[in-house]
Chain A
Amino acid sequence: MHEGRLIEFDRVSFAYSSEPVLEDLAFGLYPGQFVGIVGPNGAGKSTVLKLMNRLLAPSKGEVRIAGRSVSEYSLKELARLIAFVPQEPEYFPFTVRELVTLGRSPYRSGYGSVSPRDAEIVEEAMREAGVVEFADRPVDQLSGGERQRVTVARALAQKTPILLLDEPTNHLDIEHQLHICRLLQAKANAGMTCVAVLHDLNLVASYCHEVLVLDLGRLVAHGAPGGVLTPELVQEVYHVHIPDIRHPVTGRPVIAP
């Protein structure tokens, strides 16, 4: 293993029965990075996330977290290391606070009331995700954007060093998209490792420290977005032609036809 890598894919392949999804993936992610995973539909982006938290097991190779194979952790240990925001979370008429408090369950042994420390962490997570003002409303009465932030708050309440998000900006308007991306960037700057599957290349170019580009189950590029998201790569992976434009203020790539 490589020193300092928090997440490591060691020649990982994955197949559903005989249908190969990922082939021979090898990369490492370091702490304190906001990493975007991009690629065309069906490239295997979500699968990469699910291999990280053992929702799926590799058919070849090994996924390591903090130097240990994910298969060696207990599910509770894993839940204290990795939080996950799935693509289509399900909602029940819990209040926002009740739902975010469920994020503390990996630390609680079944019963007992919520400790003051847990309550504090829940409040902080709700503040960070911007859901405090509707903390006592039932989740099923909120808009799509508000619900998504509630799910992020639930994941933040898990207080894990790693946060995985599967298309967290889907269905969100631009204000809420930017809010989520800024939050993830800030969490990464504070030491958390955030890995998000994203479709919007401009969000990745503007906010991510690193980007992983997948195509047909293979890793085709990995690095800082400024060096990776070139017109050549976009042409190769997405089969669309874009001009080479840079943002006039940040100097980061702008992906526009």
Chain B
Amino acid sequence: MRTRSGVLRGVVLLAVLLVSILVAAAVGSVAISPVNVGRMLLSRILGFDSIERTWTAAEELIVMQVRLPRVLLAAVIGGGLSAAGVLFQGILRNPLADPYIIGVSSGASLGAAAALLFFIPAGLGWYGTLPLYAFAGAVGATFIVYRVGLMHGRLHPTNLILAGVAVGALFTAMVSFMMVFKIQNLQDVYMWLMGSLSGRGWRQLGAAAPYVLAGSAVAVLFAPKLDVYLLGEETAHSLGIDVQRLQKQVLAIGALIAAACVAVSGVIGFVGLMVPHAVRIWIGPKHTRLTVYAFLAGAIFLVVADTLARTVFSPIELPVGIVTAMTGGPFFIYLMRRS
């Protein structure tokens, strides 16, 4: 019975995600009916002549080239950050862990800030090699934190968290330091640090999606082991799990997903911390369900948040990180008080 209601909830989440993608792609300065967006997509999938064209070429251009890739990217990033959050909270056995806890965000920020301030000519930043710099920074920082957290060949979650905080503080200070000396590109850096999907398209989606989707799929495969790991390292060992190997594998997958997200979107906070929590309160701690549902719920959340970010104060766009924190914070407090 539990399983059946579990699957039903999954189907509901998936349906909500699809509807929110259609609606999000329809909403904007040029309003297009969500039905037409659906028909547009169907005509692309089934072939161009199968569905009567009830929309204009301009509408199709807006949806297919501007809105849809951004909405899909929001779904991928929201899902990826949430799946990574499940991995980090599980493997560090710490409810305050988020995908950025072991240095991913500060490393990516350092890479991106260095790129924006020194390497990339003003204005070309978003479309060029910025994600590569950010990705390199994220992976580099994670590696440093990992080495610092490793003692006598063993990883200790507490050491890892402390190392993440220390490296994070150092890198954040370096970003601020660079910003003081190079003020001409400050706005770009600032937007990036707040996390934004503004101007992102198919290219960014193509860059991030393979890592995020493959990583999240592998995360689901690790779920049964993470369930056993929740019982403590000694118990997990006595149930046949190589604890050291599991920790390294899960951290690597989580860091890869988070780095891919951060590289294209900047530091979108709160999703990877809050969504896993909320979903855990809803369906319990078993990781198979938790990972899948958190991915779907995170995708929905960021699609909605990004749509609000680009429409509420139109033509001004808010960094989506502001929206996630402003809407997610109160909701999270409500959930905590209620449970």
Hey, which bits of chain A sit against chain B, CB under 8 A?
50, 53-55, 75-76, 78-80, 82-84, 86, 88-90, 92-95, 98-99, 102-103, 105-106, 108, 110-111, 113, 154, 158
Contact = CB atoms under 8 A, between A and B. Distances in A.
B238 A79 contact: yes
A108 to B, nearest CB: 8
Contacts of A90: 93, 230-232, 235
Nearest to A102: B228
A199 B129 CA distance: 64
A53 B243 CA distance: 14
Nearest to A138: B284
A84 B286 contact: no
Contact of A111 (B224, B230, B237): B224
A80 B231 CA distance: 18
B230 A76 contact: no
A53 B239 contact: no
A105 B237 contact: no
Contacts of A53: 237-238
Contacts of B93: 90
Contacts of B241: 75, 105
Given A75-B237, A84-B234, 18 more contacts: A55-B234, A75-B242, A79-B239, A82-B238, A84-B238, A90-B93, A90-B230, A90-B231, A92-B230, A92-B285, A93-B285, A102-B227, A102-B231, A105-B228, A105-B240, A108-B224, A110-B221, A110-B224
Contact of B240 (A76, A95, A98): A76
Contacts of B232: 86, 88-90
Given A90-B93, A93-B285, A105 B234 contact: no
Contacts of A54: 237
A81 to B, nearest CB: 10
Contacts of B286: 94, 98
Contacts of A75: 237, 240-242
Interface of B: 3, 93, 221, 224-225, 227-228, 230-232, 234-235, 237-242, 284-286
13 contacts: A55-B234, A78-B240, A79-B238, A80-B240, A83-B238, A90-B93, A95-B284, A98-B284, A99-B231, A102-B239, A106-B240, A110-B221, A110-B224
A89 B286 CA distance: 18
Contacts of B235: 84, 86, 89-90
The 6 closest A-B pairs by CB, nearest first: A79-B240, A84-B238, A90-B232, A76-B240, A106-B240, A86-B234
Contacts of B224: 105, 108, 110-111
Contacts of A82: 238
A113 B224 CA distance: 11
Q: Which of B238, B284, B285 has the most CB of A within 10 A?
A: B238
A73 to B, nearest CB: 10
A94 B240 contact: no
B285 A103 contact: no
A113 B230 CA distance: 20
B219 to A, nearest CB: 13
A92 B227 CA distance: 9
Contacts of A78: 238, 240
Contacts of B230: 90, 92, 94
A12 B284 CA distance: 44
A110 B286 CA distance: 13
A219 B239 CA distance: 29
Contacts of A99: 231
A79 B237 CA distance: 8
B239 A158 contact: yes
Nearest to B224: A110
A106 B231 contact: no
Nearest to A114: B3
Contacts of B240: 75-76, 78-80, 105-106
A88 B238 CA distance: 14
A142 to B, nearest CB: 15
Nearest to A112: B224
A54 B239 CA distance: 12
A92 B231 CA distance: 7
A229 B164 CA distance: 52
A83 B240 CA distance: 10
B284 A55 contact: no
Nearest to A94: B285
